[in-house]
């Protein structure tokens, strides 16, 4: 079975600080996909990034960057120069095949990020 | 309208009521999903439809009844719910089951 662990339940930073959200995953599948979603107070999950297991290249998009390390089964997300609008719950998710069944998307429990002005 | 829409956004119902949640996707996708998000719990996948056929039902009580009349619309019919069914119900869609899922804004359901 697959599992996603987001050990940080809540993080609070002051605006303009950098913050890293941790994500550790478990799967026996050799081909899998990793995702990050953002859930603002409005409730909608907003897709941020998708990564496949064969591509360990780090990615940067504006103030967001992602560090994928297969050796440690981690897919961490860093926000540089955080802003109040970054306040949200962030979910890491894994899409993998579990026990011969169809591919499933498994979510972590989420990290509540609060950016203070 | 673009993306995935859900109506209503908020719903309060008694345990004896019957109501339906509606989801519509404008992305041309072939797969649609219902998730339940309760406080302090990870998202739980409830149902998956692929090409209008239900392909997954994750041990959801029969008081939840999904319907997918076409690839753009997904309903969740509710009857005789319990207070513990109060949650945010999220709909999502994807091109294929292996692809990225895009979510709607959710329906906040309160069962009294």
- In chain A, the N- to C-terminal Cα span, in Å, equals 41
- Using CA atoms, how far residue A105 sits from A102, B3, B9, B46, B69, in Å, is 10, 20, 24, 12, 24
C-alpha to C-alpha distance for A108 and A7, rounded to whole angstroms:
9
- Nearest by CB: A44 against B55, B98, B105: B105
C-alpha to C-alpha distance for B84 and A55, rounded to whole angstroms:
41
Beta-carbon separation of A44 and B42 below 8 A: no
- The tens digit of pLDDT for each residue in A47-99 reads 999 999 998 888 888 999 999 999 999 999 999 999 999 999 999 999 986 65
Calculate what percentage of chain B has a pLDDT beyond 90: 74
Q: Which of A26-30, A109-113, B38-42 has the highest mean pLDDT?
A: A109-113
Mean predicted lDDT score pLDDT of chain A: 92
Q: CB A109: neighbour CB atoms within 10 A?
A: 17
C-alpha to C-alpha distance for A15 and B106, rounded to whole angstroms:
29
Q: How distant is the Cα of B29 from the closest Cα of chain A, in angstroms?
A: 16
- Nearest by CB: B106 against A44, A47, A109: A44
Give the per-residue pLDDT at A102: 65
Q: Which residue has the higher pLDDT, B111 or A1?
A: B111
Among chain B residues, CA nearest to A38: B103
Q: CB B101: neighbour CB atoms within 10 A?
A: 25
Mean predicted lDDT score pLDDT of chain B: 91
Residues 6 or more apart from B96 whose CB is under 8 A from it?
A: B30, B31, B50
C-alpha to C-alpha distance for A85 and B106, rounded to whole angstroms:
20
Sign of the torsion angle spanned by Cα atoms A29, A35, A40, A43: negative
Q: How distant is the Cα of B97 from the closest Cα of chain A, in angstroms?
A: 7
- Using CA atoms, how far residue B40 sits from B11, B37, B43, B62, B63, in Å, is 20, 9, 10, 24, 23
C-alpha to C-alpha distance for B53 and A108, rounded to whole angstroms:
28
Nearest Cα neighbor of B10 from A115, A92, A43, A117 is: A43
Give the per-residue pLDDT at A73: 96
Enter the DSSP assignment of B27. S
CB A10 within 8 A of CB A109: no
Residue B51 has pLDDT above 90, yes or no: no
Q: What are phi and psi of B23, to 5 degrees?
A: -130, 140
Q: Is the bond leading into B8 cis (omega within 30 degrees of zero)?
A: yes
Beta-carbon separation of A44 and B41 below 8 A: no
Give the per-residue pLDDT at A108: 95
Helix (H, G, I), strand (E, B) or coil at A85: helix
Among chain A residues, CA nearest to B101: A47
Residue B44 has pLDDT above 70, yes or no: yes
Two tokens, residue A96: 């993998």
Q: Which residue has the higher pLDDT, B95 or B51?
A: B95
Residue A100 has pLDDT above 90, yes or no: no
Calculate what percentage of chain B has a pLDDT beyond 70: 99
Among chain B residues, CA nearest to A31: B98
Give the per-residue pLDDT at B1: 59
**B45–chain A Cβ distance below 8 A for any pair:** yes
Beta-bridged to residue A104, according to DSSP, are A96
C-alpha to C-alpha distance for A21 and A85, rounded to whole angstroms:
16
- Nearest by CB: B56 against A37, A46, A102: A102
């Amino acid at each position: 079975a697959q599992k996603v662990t987001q050990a940080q339940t809540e993080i609070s930073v002051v605006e303009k600080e950098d913050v890293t959200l941790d994500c550790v995953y478990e799967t026996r599948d050799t081909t899998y996909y990793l995702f990050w979603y953002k859930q603002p107070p409005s409730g909608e999950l907003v897709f941020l990034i998708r990564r496949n297991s064969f591509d360990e290249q780090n990615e940067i998009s504006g103030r967001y960057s992602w560090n994928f390390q297969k050796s440690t089964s981690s897919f961490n997300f860093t926000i540089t120069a955080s802003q109040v609008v970054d306040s949200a719950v962030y979910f890491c998710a894994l899409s993998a095949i579990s026990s011969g069944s169809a591919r499933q998307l498994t979510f972590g429990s989420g990290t509540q990020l609060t950016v203070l002005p | 309208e673009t993306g995935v829409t859900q109506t209503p956004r908020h719903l309060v119902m008694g345990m004896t009521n019957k109501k339906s949640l509606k989801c519509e996707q404008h992305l041309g996708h072939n797969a649609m999903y219902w998730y339940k998000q309760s406080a302090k719990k990870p998202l739980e996948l409830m149902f998956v439809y692929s090409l209008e056929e239900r392909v997954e039902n994750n041990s959801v009580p029969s008081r939840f009844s999904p319907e997918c009349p076409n690839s753009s619309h997904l309903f969740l019919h509710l009857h005789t719910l319990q207070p513990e069914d109060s949650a945010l119900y999220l709909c999502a869609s994807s091109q294929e089951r292996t692809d990225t899922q895009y979510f709607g804004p959710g329906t906040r359901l309160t069962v009294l």
